[in-house]
Amino acid sequence: MITRAFWATAPGQGCLQEVSLRAPEPNEVQVRTTFSGVSRGTESLVFQGRVPVSQKQAMRCPHQDGSFSFPIKYGYITVGIVESKGELQGKSVFCLHPHQEHLVVPKKDVVCLPDGLDPARAVLAANMETAVNGVWDANPQSGESISVIGAGVVGALVAWRIRQSTGAPVQLIDRNARRAELARLFDLDFSLPENAQGEQNLIVHASGSSEGLRKALSLAAPEGRIIEMSWFGDSEIALPLGGAFHSRRLTIRSSQVGQISPRMREDWSYQRRMALALDLLKEHPVLDELINEESLFSDLPKTMVRLTSGPSDVLCHRVVYEESN
């Protein structure tokens, strides 16, 4: 079978290429993709060739083909329907797979969507899993003042998850004033950076900018914790650590979804964490607000150029696969 996949062929360039698909073996399934999602932060860095040499192995995604030196087939948000015969035939599933019309993967690599979850919303699954893990790393405590800097998909989901799971007020900070409406829908307090309330015990940084991380340092209360969820690729970040960083005994700690938060590893598996992410998506239709743009798979080469070329109001971009594929 011949299908098509999206390949980045050089920094800032990509195209659809034909891929030969073999028949599935007994422990595999064939999936017809219905939707995929563009993870703008990570995929922008990959598409622009900005993955540091030291991180090329760590940043490999499941079912990736090619290398970060180009060409490369990259991505990890795919929703589809199992076509091959067996107990999963006809099931809607999520898979960590690059953008491709049809795929053959091991059965263990697909997760069935829970009944009642709109497959179109399931493109948020990977980001929700990241947010769940980030909140575990942040470990918000009762009575703490809490802020999230960066109202992109991950930042908004982290802020929403903290609010939803703890009931604590959360200040969502972003330089885009139009994110105030999203904050309202998610029951969050919105602030522009210049108006943000300081003396915060816990700050999650997810803006992807050095300015955002510096803002986190300025807002932190004594003994404050900063959870860094942005990934800067090959960018070097300068921080004012000669100021109050030491006297206030501040902490900056990274969070990354590739490993389960240490304090949760004894009780949680990757499969259980993903199941939680999918259940949260099922139970909260308001999260559809994070998907504010879509395009056809056939247009993905030019769409990717636009999405990665600079600042944008796009949160989650959903790719729709033509029924005839």
What single letter denotes the amino acid at residue 51? V
Residue 107 vs residues 15, 94, 95: alpha-carbon distances, Å: 28, 11, 10
Helix (H, G, I), strand (E, B) or coil at 263: helix
Residue 105 and residue 29 share a domain: yes
Q: What's the confidence (pLDDT) of residue 320?
A: 98
In a domain, 279, yes or no: no
3-class secondary structure for 81-125?
EECCCCCCCCCEEEECCCCECEEEEEHHHEEECCCCCCCCHHHHH
pLDDT tens digits for range 280-293: 999 999 999 999 99
| Residue 271 covered by a domain | no
Whole domain around residue 71: which residue ranges? 2-112+284-320
154, 258: one domain: yes
**Residue 269: partners with Cβ closer than 8 Å, 6 or more residues away:** 260
Residue 16: its pLDDT value, please? 98
User: Do 179 and 90 sit in the same domain of this protein?
Assistant: no
Are 106 and 132 part of one and the same domain?
Answer: no
- If asked whether residues 89 and 202 sit together in one domain, one would say no
DSSP per residue over 142-210, as a string?
TT--EEEE--SHHHHHHHHHHHHHH----EEE-S-TTHHHHHHHTT-EEE-GGG----EEEEEE-S-SH
Residues 51, 85, single domain; the answer is: yes
pTM: 0.95
pLDDT of amino acid 78: 98
Residue 134 sits in the same domain as residue 228: yes
In a shared domain, residues 23 and 137: no
Number of structural domains found in the chain: 2
| Within-domain flag for 163 | yes
Q: Is 277 within the bounds of a domain?
A: no
**Cα dihedral 223, 228, 233, 236 in deg (nearest 10):** -20
DSSP for residue 58: T
CATH of the domain at 73: 3.90.180.10
Cα dist. 191→183, 213, 216 in Å?
9, 16, 13
Q: Do 9 and 75 fall within a single domain?
A: yes
User: Are 260 and 131 part of one and the same domain?
Assistant: yes
Does any domain span residue 232? yes
Q: Could you read off the pLDDT tens digit of each residue along the chain, which spans 325 residues? A: 999 999 999 999 999 999 999 999 999 999 999 999 998 888 999 999 999 999 899 889 999 999 999 999 999 999 999 999 999 999 999 999 999 999 999 999 999 999 999 999 999 999 999 999 999 999 999 899 999 999 999 999 999 999 999 999 999 999 999 999 999 999 999 999 999 999 999 999 999 999 999 999 999 999 999 999 998 888 888 999 988 899 999 999 999 999 999 999 999 999 999 999 999 999 999 999 999 999 999 999 999 999 998 888 999 999 999 864 5
User: Alpha-carbon distance 11 to 6, whole Å?
Assistant: 14
Asked if residues 107 and 93 have their Cβ atoms less than 8 Å apart, the reply is no
